[in-house]
Structure 1
Amino acid sequence: MNNYETVFILNPVLSEDQMKDTVQKFVKVLTDNGAEVVNEEQWGLRKLAYPVQHKSTGFYNLVEFTAAPELVDKLETEYRRDEAVMRFLTVSLDKHAVAYNEKRRKGAFNKKKKAKEEPAS
């Protein structure tokens, strides 16, 4: 079992419910094929760096999971079949990336939190 992280951008014309249903469809593809979803984040509607399919914004989503390498091909095939997906990228994580993601989830890099902890002079 390897660690993976996938980010996909959904079409901005989807409603909030349609967007959530689409994300759950891809999470279900993972779990039905024996993957364990470690983390799931919805980054919301963001501006794209350049227009994609004549759209300047998109719904960004991140899913971190552990799975067998063969499952990545199945997941990416599902991305290609779904017209709501504008772009996607799946990467394999090494041990350093896994450790970084764990720290990030626990808030170790949260600047606002650190600013409150420092004593005022």
Structure 2
Amino acid sequence: MNNYETVFILTPVLSDQQAKEAVEKFTKVLTDNGAAIVNEENWGLRKLAYPIEKKSTGYYTLVEFDSNPEVIKKLETAFRRDERVLRFLTFRLDKYAKEYADKRRARKTAAPAAPATEVEPATAAE
């Protein structure tokens, strides 16, 4: 099994619920074909670098997964058949990219766990 990462952009005319349903559809395609989802990140509504289909924003989603190469063809066919998908990119992670992704996930999970410290206002010296 290889490590893969896919990023896809959904059309901005979707509601949050519709965008979540679309993401679930694609992760279901992966899991139904034997892939193991490692990480899923919703980057939210972001501005596109250039207009695609006369749209300047889109819902970005990143999914990291472990699977056989045959699953990629099925996933990309599902992307092409769904009119909600503006763009997608899937690539295999080499060992360095895998290490970087693991470190990024570790930083992301460690940062919110740190307690917020309150700073008391300094009193003026008289």
Instruction: Give the TM-score, by structure 1 length.
Output: 0.89
Which residue identity does 2:62 align to in structure 1?
L
Identify the residue that residue 2 of structure 2 maps to in structure 1. 2
Which residue identity does 1:84 align to in structure 2?
R
1:5 to partner: Cα distance: 0.2
Cα distance per residue 1:2-56 (max 9 Å; x no partner) = 0000000000000000000000000000000000000000000000000000000
Aligned pairs, number: 113
1:40-59 mapped onto 2 (5 Å cutoff): 40-59=40-59
2:10 aligned with 1:34: no
Q: Which ranges in structure 2 are unaligned for 5 or more consecutive residues?
A: 117-126
Structure 1: how far apart are the matches of 2:2 and 2:14?
32
Displaced runs of 4+ in structure 1, greater than 2 A?
none
1:60-99 mapped onto 2 (5 Å cutoff): 60-99=60-99
Q: Which ranges in structure 1 are unaligned for 5 or more consecutive residues?
A: 117-121
Cα distance per residue 1:70-95 (max 9 Å; x no partner) = 10000000000000000000000001
Structure 2: how far apart are the matches of 1:65 and 1:23?
14
Bigger radius of gyration, 1 or 2? 2
Structure 2: how far apart are the matches of 1:40 and 1:86?
19
Q: Calculate percent identity across the aligned residue pairs.
A: 65
